A and B are shown apart, each in its own frame.
Chain A
Amino acid sequence: MKRLKAGDIIYRLFAIVFFLIFIYPIYFTVVSSFKTNTEIWNTMFALPSKIEWSNYTSAIFDVGILRAVLNSFIFSFGACMVVVVFVTMAAYVAARKLIRFSGALRLYYLLGLMIPPYAMLIPIVTMFTNFGFRDKYWPMILLYAAINFPMSFYLITGYIEGISKELDEAAIVDGCSTTGIVFRIIFPIASPGIFTGAIISFLAVYNELIFANTLLTNQAMKTISVRLLGLQGERFTSYGPMFASIVLSIVPILIIYLIFQEKVESGMAAGAVKG
């Protein structure tokens, strides 16, 4: 049997500790989704004495969490797609300085990053009301894409800058157009960075509350975060259905993460060894 070194023991000990720290909220959420309010408070860590399926029926039929999950997914996925396509193109232009004012363009997006979007809540609400954009998918998708544009822009621009220009030149020699270079040459190489930007945008939209609460007032358009808040009563919170709703709402996120796990992790690690 292989003998463990002291370093390995410490390493594994830390791994176990961190595993427990990160698994705890998931365990607590799943277990609580099968308990009554009182049982959640009385026996926080224990398994439920009786499985409360009613929390799930309440989450699905009374709260309408599945529709909310679908809405959140549409907004997140839509915004994510817009961000990926347009940011990649803009980032390529800025990284390769293809236009005269690419430096100014970067500064402009930097301002977009520095000004909190909620500072513009009232003008945005006014605009949505005046143009009849409220409770509609496309305007919300574009709004969310715009909010997440600057962050992804900086992330992807930095990544593209690390890709050799000679690849572009070789593609030009082979007769590739600029659009072709962006999507056939740069996109696959920069995909870890692009996927990271996409995932960050996806999660930001999936968890967004304030714009969703103010611009989506139709019951059928509500998102997960607004629906979950609805369970927090004026002076009484329904924790059981709330945890059941949370379990149902994290499923799409888990699926997305599992599908793109490799891309995300490589994207996150990509900058670490640069230089």
Chain B
Amino acid sequence: MQKKIISVLLASVLAVSVLSGCGNSGGDSKDSSKKSEETAKSEDGKVKVRILTRFSNPDSVRERYFMDMVAKFQEENQDIELEDVSISDEESHDTLFKTSVASGDPIEVFNFLGYAANIDYVKNGVVTDISSLLEEDPSWTENYIDALFAPVDYSAYGIEGTYGLPTSPYGVCCFYNKAIFDELGMEMPETWEGIEAAAPKLIEAGYIPMAFGAKDNYRAGHFLTALSMKYYGDQLKTDLIDNEKAWNDPEMLGLIEKMQKWQEDGLFGDNNLAYDANGELAKLENKEAAIIFSGSWNIATINEFSNIDDIVCKGFPYFEEKPEYKDEWMGGPDDFMAMTSQPGDPDYDATVRVLKFFTSQEYYQGLYEAQAGAGTYPVTFGETIQADALTTEFNEYYGKASNMIGEIEQFSPMTSLLDVVRTEVTTIFSGDKAKDIADRIQGEVDTYNASN
């Protein structure tokens, strides 16, 4: 009996200690993000500012450039200790930021994803409104493309202000291995009807019509949004987010069914769950895949291919029956540089300096030159660099875009929807039926709606 009492007491003590630790913040999030002089200063008296991005791979030109710029900032600003805590893995990145917020010491400059899915950070005062800073220094953003700020503008939700600066605009596109089409005496198809017609001949010749590396679940999410833009424009996105339409209504179900049919017909090849986006690139270079569905972020990598002269960039295929949506794109701004320090915080001025440095025209000019004009940027440049062929081809299509949206789920305040849709749609490649997938997604949405 005595033993039982002791064990119950011990369990209670432990449970209380764990729970009291978790319930750290006594006040609201704004209070918890306020810093003391001590935490804002490093051991040698410098103001300490941390920067969290997803640039940690020194093998990538863009990420290496960022690392070099961190070193440059440190050299030029001896009064600030800039700590680069970047990590490219999405889950680790999110855990690091969320933990820093929850423990009352939010990372000062960070990679904010914007959109409705992240509105809670704005509502709770974690992300700082930088509109007054932008007004004070108009030259800071004079060359930014205004439309890219839309995902960090929450005025539709009654929240005024600007909550970040776009960093990585992108566009989904396709890369073709022209040598395969030349060999078979075929034109490179730019419509889904054309790809469906070309697929049997490509498969017969031993090629994958369009490689799909489903091991990365974002591939399925990107594909579905890009497909919906070509079939319905952004109306389906609006209807789904406003709950005017369900994910298992005929419109979205029809799109998932198309993906399922193409998968069953061998259009995407086989063993899709065994390779990721890197595998897609390898199949394109190795002349196994005729087309890959990808994005502007891969242009620099593809430029390194041994057979780069065979590779052609084109827009995501459209539907002949829907010519009105030919130039509707999935793309636009992806990430935003934002800050958490509030006016009055001891590290506020230093944080603003860091933010300005990594979002300045000079920063992007340097990146533009480092990438030899390849890629996409949130700013315009006075003097353009003669870019490589792929970038030029991409820009030809990108420039014609009449409308552009990010992934549909990003527009929903249901934060988990992005992962739910990506994971569920990926199950096509393990034999799941479109109807079941659509029902499960809608089931999650219904559960969320019922509790909010």
Interface residues of A (CB under 8 A from B): 37-38, 40-42, 58, 62-63, 101, 103-104, 107-108, 111, 115, 119-127, 129, 209-210, 213-214, 217-219, 226, 229-239, 241
Contacts and interface: CB of A to CB of B under 8 A. Distances in A.
A217 B55 CA distance: 14
B85 A232 contact: no
17 contacts: A37-B281, A37-B282, A41-B286, A42-B285, A104-B3, A107-B7, A108-B14, A122-B102, A214-B95, A217-B85, A218-B83, A226-B92, A229-B87, A235-B297, A236-B59, A236-B298, A238-B57
A209 B83 CA distance: 19
Interface in B399-423: none
B235 interface: no
**Chain B CB within 10 Å — which of A41, A234, A241 has the most?**
A234
Interface in B434-448: none
Interface string B100-112: 1011110000000
Contact of A120 (B18, B279, B298): B18
Contacts of A231: 56-57, 59, 88
A119 to B, nearest CB: 6
A219 B282 CA distance: 32
A38 B286 contact: yes
A238 B57 CA distance: 8
B58 interface: yes
Contacts of B10: 104, 107-108, 111
B99 A121 contact: yes
B319 interface: no
Contact of A235 (B56, B86, B87, B298): B298
B278 A123 contact: no
Contacts of B95: 210, 213-214
B322 to A, nearest CB: 28
B440 to A, nearest CB: 26
A220 B128 CA distance: 30
Interface residues on B, range: 35 or more
Given A229-B87, A233-B60, 14 more contacts: A42-B285, A63-B58, A104-B6, A104-B7, A122-B102, A123-B22, A210-B95, A217-B50, A230-B86, A233-B59, A235-B298, A236-B301, A238-B59, A239-B278
A101 B10 CA distance: 12
B22 A214 contact: no
B105 A232 contact: no
Contact of A58 (B58, B63, B83): B58
B257 interface: no
B328 to A, nearest CB: 22
Contacts of A209: 92
A119 B18 contact: yes
A226 B86 CA distance: 10
B275 A230 contact: no
Given A126-B21, A217-B83, A233 B103 contact: no
Given A37-B278, A37-B282, A38-B281, A234 B18 contact: no
Contact of A236 (B3, B58, B92, B277): B277
B282 A111 contact: no
B271 interface: no
A230 B22 contact: no
A32 to B, nearest CB: 12
Nearest to B43: A132
Interface string B75-102: 0000000011111111010011001101
Given A233-B57, A233-B63, A123 B24 contact: yes
A230 B99 contact: no
A62 B281 contact: no
A42 B286 contact: yes
Contacts of A237: 57, 276, 278
A265 B397 CA distance: 63
A230 B87 CA distance: 5
Nearest to B36: A130
B295 interface: yes
A58 B59 contact: yes
Contacts of B238: none
B54 A234 contact: yes
B168 to A, nearest CB: 9
Contacts of A236: 57, 59-60, 277-278, 297-298, 301
B380 interface: no
Contacts of B56: 229-231, 233
A219 B84 contact: yes
A235 B88 CA distance: 9
Contacts of B89: 229-230, 232
B385 interface: no
A241 B92 contact: no
In this complex, the member of A58, A129, A230, A239 whose beta carbon has the largest number of chain B beta carbons within 10 angstroms is A230
Contacts of A233: 54, 56-57, 59-60, 63, 88
Contact of A103 (B3, B21, B57, B63): B3
A213 B59 contact: no
A111 B15 CA distance: 10
Contacts of B297: 234-236
A232 B55 CA distance: 10
A43 B279 CA distance: 11
B20 to A, nearest CB: 8
Contacts of B57: 230-233, 236-238
A115 B277 contact: no
* Pairs A-B, 10 closest by C-beta atoms: A123-B21, A41-B282, A230-B56, A62-B58, A238-B59, A233-B57, A125-B103, A217-B85, A126-B103, A229-B89
A127 B58 CA distance: 32
Contact of A234 (B85, B88, B102): B88
B39 A129 contact: yes
Interface in B223-258: none
B326 interface: no
Contact of B88 (A103, A108, A126, A230): A230
B226 to A, nearest CB: 15
Interface in B33-61: 39, 50, 54-60
